[in-house]
Amino acid sequence: MNAPNLPLAGLKVVEFTHMVMGPTVGLVLGDLGAEVIKIEPLGGDNTRRLKGSGAGYFPMYSRNKKSLCVDLKSAEGKQVALDLIAGADVLIENFRPGAMDALGFGAEALAELNPRLIYCSAKGFLSGPYEHRAALDEVAQMMGGLAYMTGPPGRPLRAGSSVIDVMGGLFGVIGVLAALAQRQATGTGQTVKSALFENCLFLVGQHMAQYAVTGQAARPMPVRVSAWAIYDLFQTQDDDQVFVGVVTDGQWRAFCAAFDLDDFAADETYAANNGRVAARDVIIPRVQALFSTFTKAELLPRLEAIGLPFAPVARPEDLFEDPHMVQSGGLSAITLPGGGETRLPALPIEMGGQRFNQAHVTPEAGADTRTILAAAGYGEDLILDLIARGVVAEAVA
């Protein structure tokens, strides 16, 4: 989809964020066409310098944004930010509770400056007894029930990505889009708040509902009672793993026919799903023995031919060469800080049959300082003066 035709073209966003949840809001709005200005401290967002599991946060969630480095503790730096906010449609922030107010950038103060502003706060908790607590993705997963459901009994385990941070960002986007639609009618903006804890509970709501319906607590996923007889990982002849699901009676009949399981097909006690679930201790060992006679390369096309849900177990690094992602345009070309090139997942959305997979740049800290200030009406001499006095900074070549 060409940039001028993107759904949010013309929308102006100012982003005061770090880590994952807040930047995810800006990422999605930016990929949909908004101009996103990332306000960074002098020297750049500390997220840029994270190592280990945090090394991918900045390139994944801060692509397609403009970077302005400014000293917000100085009166002149604060005024620079206020000048940008005065002309913005959306502000995003995800700092600890009270931090934006202390800087003079609280929602109430900015509503007076720009009544049309939509102020999106990505926090640990929504309003309530916990709202002043700091939180991280892992905190929310532990206290929100997800870690309990993910690990084996007695060993709570966080999910293998920043799922709550990312989902919190997506709920922030939903709130922003709803507020934009409402602004069309009212002419005024409002505060939108998304939070880690509450969106984690939304994820485990199915397990809460299970308890409400059955009176029995949901068991952690590694020891859960499956709703289907075949819904498992199986070992192949070449010591690989493939997940296979057989979730309808029609799939069961097709599965039995394709793999010559005539005795299973003929047994009426297996004809309906609940009967098969009751016989898992018979069915699973037989299927495991069957699948262990095939290599992964032999098994996958047979499963696909009969229309079963199946999946080889992939590692994140395998997905750079996934044929579906490569051929469908599901990976966007990204220029990394420092000039390296890679491809990272595009928005998982199609509109009008097209993907949002434009080539993007992840900016150097301060890369757009001069152009942002010039667009805000600052003259060249004033920009050079602000740079010279350390009020703002630009990228060093």
What's 134's domain CATH number?
3.40.50.10540
324 CB burial (10 A radius; 0-12, 13-18, 19+): exposed
Count of beta carbons in the 10 Å neighbourhood of residue 297: 12
pLDDT reported for residue 246: 97
Angle in degrees, 0-180, between the axes of helices 21-31 and 163-186, rounded to the nearest 10: 60
pLDDT value at 266 more than 60 = yes
Which phi and psi (to 5°) does residue 360 adopt?
Answer: -130, 160
Instruction: Please report, for the domain that includes residue 245, its CATH number.
Output: 3.30.1540.10
- Residue 55 to residue 154: CA distance in whole angstroms: 30
Q: pLDDT tens across 370-379, in order?
A: 999 999 999 9
Q: What is the span of the domain harbouring residue 111?
A: 3-203+329-393
Q: Are residues 282 and 384 in the same domain?
A: no
CA distances from 396 to 37, 312, 366, 369, 393 (A): 19, 45, 8, 11, 9
Domain C-terminal end among 259, 291, 314: 314
Q: Are residues 138 and 244 in the same domain?
A: no
Q: pLDDT tens across 288-337, in order?
A: 999 999 999 999 999 999 999 999 999 999 999 999 999 999 999 999 99
pLDDT band at 344 (very low <50, low <70, confident <90, very high): very high
Q: Are residues 112 and 252 in the same domain?
A: no
Residue found by looking up tokens 């395998």 in the block: 318
pTM of the model: 0.95
The verdict on residue 350 lying in a domain is: yes
Given the residues 31, 165, 249, 260, the one annotated as active site: 165
Which phi and psi (to 5°) does residue 373 adopt?
Answer: -65, -40
Q: Are residues 117 and 263 in the same domain?
A: no
Which phi and psi (to 5°) does residue 120 adopt?
Answer: -105, 115
pLDDT value at 272 more than 60 = yes
CA distances from 221 to 165, 309, 384 (A): 21, 19, 58
Average pLDDT of the residues in 168-172: 98
pLDDT reported for residue 362: 96
Residue 22 and residue 92 in contact, taking contact as beta carbons nearer than 8 Å: yes
Three-state DSSP class for 86?
Answer: helix
Domain C-terminal end among 314, 339, 364: 314
Domain C-terminal end among 314, 339, 369: 314
What are the start-end ranges of the H helices in 231-306? 249-258, 262-266, 273-278, 280-291, 296-305
Task: Please state which of the ranges 2-6, 40-44, 63-67, 264-268 shows the lowest mean pLDDT.
Answer: 2-6
pLDDT value at 3 more than 80 = no
Q: Are residues 248 and 194 in the same domain?
A: no
Q: Cα 81 to chain center, whole Å?
A: 27
pLDDT reported for residue 131: 96
Q: Are residues 241 and 120 in the same domain?
A: no
Q: Are residues 24 and 148 in the same domain?
A: yes
- Residue 157 to residue 148: CA distance in whole angstroms: 7
pLDDT reported for residue 386: 98
Average pLDDT of the residues in 247-271: 97
pLDDT band at 5 (very low <50, low <70, confident <90, very high): confident
* Of the candidates 185, 190, 34, 22, the residue with the CA atom closest to the CA atom of residue 114: 190
pLDDT reported for residue 396: 73
What are the start-end ranges of the H helices in 87-195? 99-103, 107-113, 137-143, 146-150, 163-186
pLDDT value at 278 more than 90 = yes
pLDDT value at 345 more than 60 = yes
pLDDT value at 397 more than 70 = no
- Residue 306 to residue 343: CA distance in whole angstroms: 33
Answer yes or no: 165 catalytic: yes
- Residue 125 to residue 105: CA distance in whole angstroms: 20
Q: Are residues 176 and 238 in the same domain?
A: no
pLDDT reported for residue 87: 97
Three-state DSSP class for 159?
Answer: coil
pLDDT band at 2 (very low <50, low <70, confident <90, very high): low
Three-state DSSP class for 256?
Answer: helix
Average pLDDT of the residues in 266-271: 96
